[in-house]
Amino acid sequence: MDLKGKRITVIGYGKTGEACVRALLRLGARVKLSERKKDLNVPNGIEVELGRHTEEFILDSDLIIVSPGVKWNEPILERARSNGIEVISEVELAYRLTNTPIIAITGTNGKTTTTSLTAHILSTKKDIKLVGNIGIPFIGEVLDSKPEYFVLEVSSFQLQGTTFFRPKIGVLLNIASDHLNWHNSMEEYIEAKKKLFTNQEKEDILIYNRDDSNVVEAVKDARSRGISFSLEDKDKSEIYIKDNSIRFNMPEFSNLSIPLDNIKLIGRHNLANIMCASIVGLLCGIPLDDLVKAIETFTPYPHTLERFLDYAGLTFIDDSKATNPHATISALRSITRDKVLILGGQDKGMDFTDLLSELKRTNVRHICLIGETREKLRELFVKNDIKNFSVHNSLEEAVLTAIDNAKKGDFILFSPACASFDMFRNYAERGERFKEIVYRWKSSKV
């Protein structure tokens, strides 16, 4: 892809936008940057507009690269497309600049864990690069790295801006309601996820979740080789669980068994993540012994059902990465003991119906509501006759109330089911804040 002398505008200058600018400068493009923030330090040699996105600045571009934090239906982007200007995401740009096979993993939940575990398994015998939505811009690696595989976590935002993107192996974990404050509808969200495999051909591989009706419907027209996994239906799936081991209804792996006795990941949903990472490892030639050892040594990703403290008869779980109801439902099902739940955050326009049903039938002793959604959730709880809850103005107040309502042997579960941006910079900061409050409480008891 020859970009020398091309007028290319990058919209948005977060971590990904910055990586795009630097890569495009190296490729000899005439780079322009449009960013709504008004105060930035940017490299020399580029044109910049700050505080706005204007037609005068953008519409003379040969190509527009959109950062993940910019909505796909921004009016200026709609105008650009109507003027025949190509608009793509950073993932699409990176894809066009590499011939390295890509293993791409997406889903509403579990993609960070699965991507990290897949990279951990492959790195035992392969030269790989872990990139993407996990926090390492793909475009920042393609010019200097020539690994055997790129292992890519890819979001719906990134997929929505792809045109020719074609991973050698795609993994679709699940599709549930999320980001509906960003996508115009659930249908648009699903269409974005389908771009994982839209360009795949029969020699490519698509690993998908047979237990998820949205996924099954989405993949029915895929042209690639489909390999399904299931926690429910071992007869119709290529990958399944039996006797606490992963088994395979596949000729090449039918004699293999991957034991799950010594894994560190918590929760039934993580079995699905392990199944996906395992089959990718086998397909890429990782020996069984190395694969099993990698699974057993894999440490859970921070803020993802992270059991970080057992003290005074209570167990504390940081699940701050649970930014939608589907993730919190998985967390609730993963912990069979009695628990106190801390819930709430930024409202993304999500449907809490399934979560309310789960709360009614699971053993939750008390629920502490926080954040922008706390009043919305309070109203839903009253309407649905859920009585064991309290409403709080701060995370610290909620944590201390949760501890007061817990009994010896209980779990304190911080699984917000909402985004973090109403109170924190991101879910990681939110999780660290939760831990700080807990450790400070512990210190006061010593």
Query: Is the domain of 101 the same as that of 79?
Result: no
pLDDT number for residue 39: 79
Query: Is the domain of 191 the same as that of 240?
Result: yes
Q: Burial of 431 by CB count in 10 Å (0-12 exposed, 13-18 middle, 19+ buried)?
A: buried
What are the φ/ψ torsions at residue 162 (nearest 5 degrees)?
Answer: -100, 155
Of 255, 274, 297, which closes a domain?
A: 297
User: Minimal CA–CA distance to 342: which of 423, 267, 397?
Assistant: 397
Query: Is the domain of 32 the same as that of 132?
Result: no
pLDDT number for residue 211: 96
Helix, coil or strand: residue 257: coil
Q: Is residue 2 part of a domain?
A: no
Q: Are 81 and 87 in contact (CB under 8 A)?
A: yes
Q: What is the CATH number of the domain that holds 416?
A: 3.90.190.20
User: Minimal CA–CA distance to 59: which of 22, 32, 98, 92?
Assistant: 32
Query: Is the domain of 415 the same as that of 316?
Result: yes
Q: Is residue 36 part of a domain?
A: yes
Look at the chain and report how many structural domains it folds into: 3
H helix intervals, 40-179: 55-58, 75-82, 90-96, 111-122, 139-142, 156-160
Q: Is residue 170 part of a domain?
A: yes
Instruction: Return the DSSP state at 428.
Output: H
If one counts every other C-beta atom within 10 angstroms of the C-beta of residue 99, the result is: 6
Side-chain half-sphere CA neighbours of 64 within 13 A:
29
Please give the angle made by the CA atoms of 136, 17 and 153, to the nearest 5 degrees: 30
Query: Is the domain of 376 the same as that of 399?
Result: yes
pLDDT number for residue 178: 55
H helix intervals, 284-410: 288-297, 325-334, 353-361, 374-383, 395-405
Cα–Cα distance measured from residue 184 to residue 161, given in angstroms and rounded to the nearest whole number: 15
pLDDT number for residue 261: 94
pLDDT number for residue 233: 84
Per-residue pLDDT for the chain (446 aa), expressed as one digit of tens each?
Answer: 899 999 999 999 989 999 999 999 999 999 999 998 887 888 888 999 999 999 999 999 999 999 987 888 889 999 999 999 999 999 999 999 999 999 999 998 899 999 999 999 999 999 999 999 988 999 999 999 899 999 999 999 999 999 999 999 999 999 986 555 555 688 888 999 999 999 999 999 999 999 999 999 999 999 999 999 999 888 889 999 999 999 999 999 999 999 999 998 888 889 999 999 999 999 999 999 999 999 999 987 889 889 999 999 999 999 999 999 988 998 999 898 999 999 999 988 888 999 999 999 999 999 999 999 999 999 999 999 999 999 999 999 999 999 999 999 999 999 999 999 999 999 999 999 999 999 999 999 87
pLDDT number for residue 111: 92
Query: Is the domain of 213 the same as that of 266?
Result: yes
Cα–Cα distance measured from residue 87 to residue 258, given in angstroms and rounded to the nearest whole number: 44
Cβ-proximal residues to 432 (8 Å cutoff; 6+ apart), any chain: none
Q: Are 441 and 400 in contact (CB under 8 A)?
A: yes
Domain extent at residue 205: 92-297
Kindly write down the DSSP assignment for every residue of 382-415, as one continuous string.
Answer: HHTT--SEEE-SSHHHHHHHHHHH--TT-EEEE-
pLDDT number for residue 179: 52
Query: Is the domain of 374 the same as that of 282?
Result: no
User: Minimal CA–CA distance to 165: which of 175, 174, 155, 173?
Assistant: 155
Of 37, 55, 84, which closes a domain?
A: 84
Q: Is residue 104 part of a domain?
A: yes
Helix, coil or strand: residue 136: strand
Q: Are 159 and 193 in contact (CB under 8 A)?
A: yes
Query: Is the domain of 287 the same as that of 399?
Result: no
Q: Is residue 342 part of a domain?
A: yes
- Residues paired with 241 in a beta bridge: 246
Name residue 107's amino acid: G
pLDDT number for residue 40: 81
Q: Is residue 1 part of a domain?
A: no
Query: Is the domain of 75 the same as that of 120?
Result: no
Cα–Cα distance measured from residue 132 to residue 170, given in angstroms and rounded to the nearest whole number: 14
Q: Are 92 and 164 in contact (CB under 8 A)?
A: yes
Q: Is residue 345 part of a domain?
A: yes
If one counts every other C-beta atom within 10 angstroms of the C-beta of residue 357, the result is: 12
Of 232, 266, 297, which closes a domain?
A: 297
pLDDT number for residue 118: 98
pLDDT number for residue 171: 98
Query: Is the domain of 71 the same as that of 115?
Result: no
Report the first-to-last Cα separation within the chain, whole angstroms: 62
pLDDT number for residue 445: 86
Query: Is the domain of 247 the same as that of 349?
Result: no
Cα–Cα distance measured from residue 401 to residue 239, given in angstroms and rounded to the nearest whole number: 43
Residue indicated by tokens 């709504």: 36
Instruction: Return the DSSP state at 298.
Output: P
Q: Is residue 34 part of a domain?
A: yes
pTM (predicted TM-score): 0.83
